Structure 1
Amino acid sequence: MIWYDHGVGGWGWFAMSVGMILFWALIITLGVLAYRALAMPGGRSNRADARPPGPAPEQLLAERFARGEIDEDEYHRRLNVLGETSGDVPRHGRR
């Protein structure tokens, strides 16, 4: 009977090494994605809709008007523009 080694040749070792690296990369990636999905309250859509911290644009505009930096016409014009772009700004004043 002929005995021969059932070992893997040079390319086999290379393929197994690359396969193992890809396997662990996939496992780690899935773990990170699962952690991020579970650790993020409200999911991804909550972050996209959230406003940045700080005063609202309407509040900044009202403060500029109160300081006298802009006149009443300019205030109403800019407030209307903000209302048209965001859709949730109540209309103030005469317009």
Structure 2
Amino acid sequence: MAVMHSEAYEVMREIGAPEEKAIKAATALSRRDRDLGGDIDDLTGDIRIIKKDVATLETEMKDVKKHVATLKSDRMVLKWMVGFSLALQITFVGVGLKLLIH
């Protein structure tokens, strides 16, 4: 025999529902609660997995931020190197032109 909500059965009987209908309704409520309980357990497991994934992503994001900071500092060094190289080349060209003109 199926498990049923005794409270639901008693209330239905008190309001005048036939016994067979009261049993069916109480059994259906019990089945629904059991199904929802399984869904809640599934959702709880999914939430745990999602929390774990979020923690992993946060850790990986920290690593990415470190790498981006490193790339930014490397880019600054490259900018200075290119700037210095251009200034040196312009100086050499200027000196060379000056020597050719005189």
Question: Shared fold (TM-score greater than 0.5)?
Answer: no
TM-score when scaled to structure 2? 0.35
TM-score when scaled to structure 1? 0.37
Higher relative contact order (CA 8 A, sep 6+): 2
Q: Which has the higher helix share?
A: 2
